Amino acid sequence: MADALLERGEYVLGVDKFVDFYDREIKELNRASLEKYPNFSFKEIDVNDLTLKDLENIEVIIHQAAQAGVRKSWGENFQSYTSHNIMATQRLLEISSELPLQRFIYASSSSVYGQVKKLPVTEDQLPSPISPYGVTKLAAEHLCHLYYYNYQVPVVSLRYFTVYGPGQRPDMAFHRFIRALLTGDEIEIYGDGEQTRDFTYIKDIVKANLSALSTSGITGKVFNLGGGHRTTIKEVIKLLEPITGKKARLNFYSPQKGDPRDTMADTSRAQNYLSYSPGFNLEEGLSRQVTYMEELLQRNL
């Protein structure tokens, strides 16, 4: 997202606390590509500690910051999820209520839906998360709505469905699968491998965000963003084998608590309002992520 904005000449302030959820070097590598732009600046700070002065000249907030990961959101870890997902969002919204913002985009998640019986899921379906992570993302989404309703903060919430591509977090499935294939390790699969996801390529997500920045008449609304690729985990691995030139060795484990069996987005609303239409098929997106992963491994990351 930052790359796309900087390429078109926008001024971008990046904010990150660098929590230890995964290797900081990977995050620094992501940031390094932005340093070539003279209109990029960076502040290492917890979003909860931001002040009005820090953001006084900001016209748009794209709120991607969160403590991610469904499986690690249980038990004692939940405190960091409430701090980084709920409290941080409330802090940003409180500051935003005093700014003449043009737009506040909140990155929500398909995790808010939980275990659905009817697919594809529409935005009108009652959210019912089945993980603590999903609960915090939904709570933050509700905060966005109430600041829109009471303070007219120009909020738009985008519910992402399993985003993948270069830069993907190391704990996510595609990253783990590709790394295992390239290094000859076993691929760990939680469940029987027949569970499905609606995989969305990162550039399609970026395109939707850019559209949400400039489209009128959408504040206060929620949009699903899916890739149109409802595919089983086993099918993904079959696609990865010829791309990597490696044969997968699979190891199956019990399903993880909080993981829904299937996801699929109805993106009709995003199509109508944001002219959203995914442009990347799964094989092309996976090929690009494999190239990225090969570069990471060359750096011993």
Q: Which residue has the tokens 């919430």?
A: 157
276 in active site: no
Residue 288, classified by CB atoms within 10 Å of its CB into exposed (0-12), middle (13-18) or buried (19+), is: middle
Which position among 81, 106, 113, 133 bears the catalytic label? Answer: 133
Residue 141 main-chain phi, psi, to 5 deg: -65, -40
Q: Cα separation of 218 and 154, whole Å?
A: 9
Q: Cα separation of 167 and 220, whole Å?
A: 29
Residues 6+ apart with CB under 8 A from 87: 48
- Reduced to 3 states, what is the DSSP secondary structure of residue 189? strand
Catalytic residue list? 133
